[in-house]
Amino acid sequence: MPTRLSTILGVTRKDLERKGVYDATVDFDSHLHIDPALLVKCKIQEFAEADKKVAAHFNKILQLLRRSSGNDALWRTAVKMLTFGEGLNTGLGYSENGIKGSGIGPRTAARIAKTAKEIIDAGVSDPAIFDLVPIFEDRIGPDRISDMISKLLSEELNAYTKRIVSELNVKVPMDANGEPFVFIPKQLLSDLPVAEQWEDVQVAAAYNESVRQAISEVIGKSWKQVAKEYSKQDLKDLLIKNPELLKELLAKYKNRPGNAYDFVLDHLGILIWDELAKQTTDKFSLDLTAFKKVSSDNILKVVIEICNQFKKLVEYNGLVYPLYDDNGDRRPERFPQLLFYGIADSYCAANGLDLNREINAGSGALDFKVSQGAAKANVELKYSSNRKLVEGYEKQLKTYNKAEGVQDKYSVYVILKVNKNQDYKIKIVEDMIKERDHEGIQSPRLVVIDAMIKPSASKL
């Protein structure tokens, strides 16, 4: 089970909550980010001048680019100022390997500088353009912007961390490489868009719904129309050729609320999934003692046992309710993926199984691997509402299996049915399996779980 910051410190989660510190998992990222808009509101002493410091840095870059003729000393200095190495140990962002941000290298920095220069030459000079880079550039999301901010504020973050550990009377925790973990105030955090493809609704929004609305209002079309009709390059060209539109977009962006993530509602389930998994497995045990020795002969049986137990927990033991937040909104797909991971991890540990469990942040797949040996199995979990549900079974899981050296017959596709309207997609997958079975083709197994909340008996 992933380790929380509070566990490493030897304190309770409430201890960190009282200090306003985010209780990060130190094994992988949370999908939260530092929102630049929240720096202005921050009242924490170490960050009193943080917004001015960040603005000054990007203002200097703008001045350099404004005076640069391209590929000169001014240009190179601007690119250097936009280059940030690997991020801090924060537990934020979208890294697929650990909790450190990927940072911004020289090539990416040069791309950002080129776009900024085009915008400046179009007559728009505002440091907020760097916040909106994810709208214009592929493979640059708000997690990268967050990494930039954290590196710029490393002095403030380290001072904050030292003060908190002093007040808690603990030591600054270190990772396996001897590098310190950095504490992040909860009031600086916002939730990160889930998707990283332009056509997915969160992406060009960069930070929140208000940005999508701003773009829609400026262009005069609904966000779905914008996403469908404009590539990132198209949108960049449109706004650069019409600087007044860009100025209007920047004004709307800067006037957005900049709301911090609601850790009480916790609609992403960031703070509850691991505790919920532990409580559930403590209450509902699963006997896997028949599989003490896991091998290629029985690893699939072990995995299917765990999948069927997860199905039982959701359909009959109330685990369906945490899939929805207190407002009745369904939590993102990553939540049940993490929840399944936590439950599988607990059951394997409780039964002393020689299995390593590892969740892949990019695909959402969960790998099961024998600690010593070649036996491997994969589980892919998706909501039935996922628009790539069929493609996930037909292509994505097979591609991931190939990359991990897993035979298709040792993988399981778990579908959480969240709406009757998607029954036809589930049937397509079921028919594909029947056809392949009939032809003698080995394919991933399927487990369908009813994850719809039923009306109470009184309402029935």
Q: Give the pLDDT confidence of 324-354 residue by residue, as tens digits.
A: 999 989 999 989 988 998 999 899 888 888 7
Task: Kindly report the backbone phi and psi dihedral angles of residue 342, in degrees, each rounded to the nearest multiple of 5, phi listed first.
Answer: -60, -40
Q: How confident is the model at residue 197 (pLDDT cuts 50, 70, 90)?
A: very low
Q: Give the pLDDT confidence of 141-156 residue by residue, as tens digits.
A: 667 778 888 999 999 9
Taking the C-alpha atoms of residue 342 and residue 432, their distance in angstroms, rounded to an integer, is 30
Q: How confident is the model at residue 446 (pLDDT cuts 50, 70, 90)?
A: very high
pLDDT surpasses 50 at 199: no
DSSP 8-state symbol, 1: -
Which residue has 């079974």 as its token pair?
Answer: 393
The b/e string for 429-451 (b: 16+ C-beta within 10 A; e otherwise) is beebbeeeeeeeeebbbbbbbeb
Q: Give the pLDDT confidence of 25-81 residue by residue, as tens digits.
A: 877 667 788 888 889 889 999 999 999 999 999 999 999 999 998 889 999 999 999
Q: Give the pLDDT confidence of 225-279 residue by residue, as tens digits.
A: 655 666 777 777 877 887 887 887 788 777 766 678 999 999 999 999 999 999 9
Taking the C-alpha atoms of residue 58 and residue 358, their distance in angstroms, rounded to an integer, is 39
Count of CA atoms in the C-beta half-sphere (13 A) of 249: 28
Token pair, residue 68, equals 């640069």
The b/e string for 385-407 (b: 16+ C-beta within 10 A; e otherwise) is ebeebbebbbebbbebbeebebe
pLDDT of residue 205: 40
Between the alpha carbon of residue 250 and those of residues 82, 128, 229, 236, the distances in Å are: 20, 7, 21, 13
Q: Does 404 or 430 have the greater pLDDT score?
A: 430
pLDDT surpasses 60 at 457: no
Token pair, residue 335, equals 């939540």
Most confident of 97-111, 190-204, 258-272, 372-386: 258-272
Q: Give the pLDDT confidence of 13-22 residue by residue, as tens digits.
A: 999 999 999 9
- In DSSP terms, 358 is beta-bridged to 367
Taking the C-alpha atoms of residue 207 and residue 36, their distance in angstroms, rounded to an integer, is 10
